[in-house]
A and B are shown apart, each in its own frame.
Chain A
Amino acid sequence: MSIRRLVSVLVKEYRHILREPRTLWMVFLSPAFVLIALSTIFASGSGRVDLALWDQDRTSLSRQFAATLSSDEDFSVGYASDYEEIEELLVEQSIDAAMIIPPGFADTVQSGDTALVQVILDGVDTFAAGQATGSLLGHAADFGLALSRQFALPSLPLQIRSQSAYLPDAAEQDSMVPGLIPIVFSLPVIAAASALAREHEAGSMEALITTPVRGLEYLGGKLIAYVTASLGGLLPVWVVATLLFGVPFRGSPLLLLVLTVDFLLASVGMALFLGNLVRSQQTATMLALFIFFVPGFFLTGMIDPIDTTDLVSTAFSYALPSTHFVTICRALFLKGTGLTGLWQPALALLVLSVLWVGLGSLTFKKRMR
Chain B
Amino acid sequence: MRDTLHRIWGLVVKELLQLGRDKLLLTFVILGPVLELLLMGGLAGGGVENLPLAVVDLDRSRASRELITTLDQTDEFLVKAYGDSVAQAQEWMRNGEIGVIVAIPPGYSEALTDPQESAEVQVIADGSSYVVSTVAIATAENVATKITQDLTARHAVASGGPVELRFIARFNHLLDGQPNSITMMLGLIVYQVTLIIAAQRFTRERELGTLEQLRVTPLGRLELMAGKAIPTLLVGLVDCLLTTGLVVIWFDIPMRGSLPLLLLLTIPFVLVQIGWGTFISLISRTQQQAILFVFMLVMLEIACSGFMVPASDMPKTMRVLSSVSSVQHYLVIVRGLILRGAGLRSLWLPALALSGIAVAVTALAWLRLRLGLDTDSPKRRLQDMWYAWRRKQRQRQAGRRDGRPRGRGVRQPKLTREPAYADVRVEVRD
Contact = CB atoms under 8 A, between A and B. Distances in A.
Interface string B247-281: 00000000000000000000000000000000000
Contacts of A38: 299, 303
Interface of B: 22, 24-25, 28-29, 32, 35-36, 39-40, 42-51, 90, 93-97, 101, 111-113, 115-135, 137-138, 140-141, 144-145, 147-148, 151-152, 157-173, 175-177, 179-181, 185, 188, 192-193, 196-197, 200, 204, 207, 284-289, 291-296, 298-300, 302-304, 307-310, 312-315, 317-318, 332, 335-336, 339-342, 346
Contact of A341 (B94, B289, B300): B94
A354 interface: no
Contacts, number: 403
A293 B298 contact: yes
Contact of A91 (B51, B101, B342): B342
A306 B165 contact: no
Contacts of A206: none
A333 to B, nearest CB: 8
Given A164-B127, A309-B46, A93 B332 contact: yes
Nearest to B208: A201
Given A41-B308, A166-B127, A313 B43 contact: yes
B46 A41 contact: no
A159 to B, nearest CB: 5
Interface string A354-368: 000000000000000
Contacts of B90: 165
Given A41-B303, A120-B170, A163-B125, 17 more contacts: A22-B289, A34-B300, A40-B317, A40-B318, A112-B159, A123-B171, A131-B134, A158-B119, A158-B121, A163-B122, A176-B130, A279-B22, A281-B288, A286-B193, A298-B181, A305-B131, A309-B49
Interface-centre pick from A22, A153, A160, A174 (highest chain B CB count, 10 A): A160
A47 B310 contact: yes
A335 B165 contact: no
A151 B335 CA distance: 46
B90 to A, nearest CB: 7
Interface in A110-142: 112-131, 133-134, 136-138, 140-141
A243 interface: no
B115 A154 contact: yes
Nearest to A314: B43
Contacts of B162: 109, 112, 114-115, 143-144, 147-148, 151, 153
A162 B125 contact: yes
A124 B339 contact: yes
B117 to A, nearest CB: 7
B284 A22 contact: yes
Contacts of B285: 20, 22
Contacts of B127: 164-167, 170, 174-175, 334
A290 B175 CA distance: 28
B25 A175 contact: no
Interface string A300-339: 0101111111101100110000000001001100111100
Given A119-B168, A286-B28, A337-B95, A293 B207 contact: no
A92 B188 CA distance: 21
Contacts of A41: 303-304, 308-309, 314-315, 318
B205 to A, nearest CB: 12
Nearest to B105: A161
Nearest to A136: B165
Contacts of B171: 90, 122-124
A294 interface: yes
A297 B168 contact: no
Contacts of B124: 162-165
B159 A163 contact: no
A23 B287 CA distance: 11
B96 A290 contact: no
Given A165-B124, A294-B36, A341-B96, A154 B157 contact: yes
Give the interface size bracket for A toward B: 35 or more
A159 B128 contact: no
Contact of B126 (A126, A165, A297, A313): A165
A301 B129 contact: yes
Interface of A: 20, 22-23, 26, 30, 33-34, 37-38, 40-44, 46-48, 50, 65, 87-88, 90-93, 109, 112-131, 133-134, 136-138, 140-141, 143-144, 147-148, 151, 153-167, 170, 172, 174-176, 178-179, 183-184, 186-187, 190-191, 194-195, 198, 201-202, 278-283, 285-287, 289-290, 293-295, 297-299, 301, 303-310, 312-313, 316-317, 327, 330-331, 334-337, 340-342
Given A109-B162, A282-B287, A337-B96, A287 B43 contact: no
Contact of A134 (B24, B45, B138, B335): B138
Contacts of A30: 292, 296
A20 B289 contact: yes
B137 A289 contact: no
B163 A147 contact: yes
B201 to A, nearest CB: 10
B236 to A, nearest CB: 14
A141 B162 CA distance: 9
A299 to B, nearest CB: 7
A183 B163 CA distance: 45
A104 to B, nearest CB: 13
B296 A34 contact: yes
A313 B300 CA distance: 27
B384 to A, nearest CB: 23
B300 to A, nearest CB: 5
A288 to B, nearest CB: 8
List 6 A-B pairs, minimum CB-CB distance, nearest first: A307-B46, A123-B169, A123-B172, A167-B127, A164-B127, A341-B95
Given A34-B299, A195-B288, A40 B94 contact: no
B175 A129 contact: yes
24 contacts: A40-B314, A40-B318, A91-B340, A114-B160, A119-B166, A138-B141, A148-B162, A157-B152, A158-B119, A160-B120, A161-B120, A161-B121, A163-B124, A166-B126, A198-B288, A280-B24, A282-B287, A283-B25, A287-B28, A289-B196, A294-B36, A305-B131, A309-B46, A340-B95
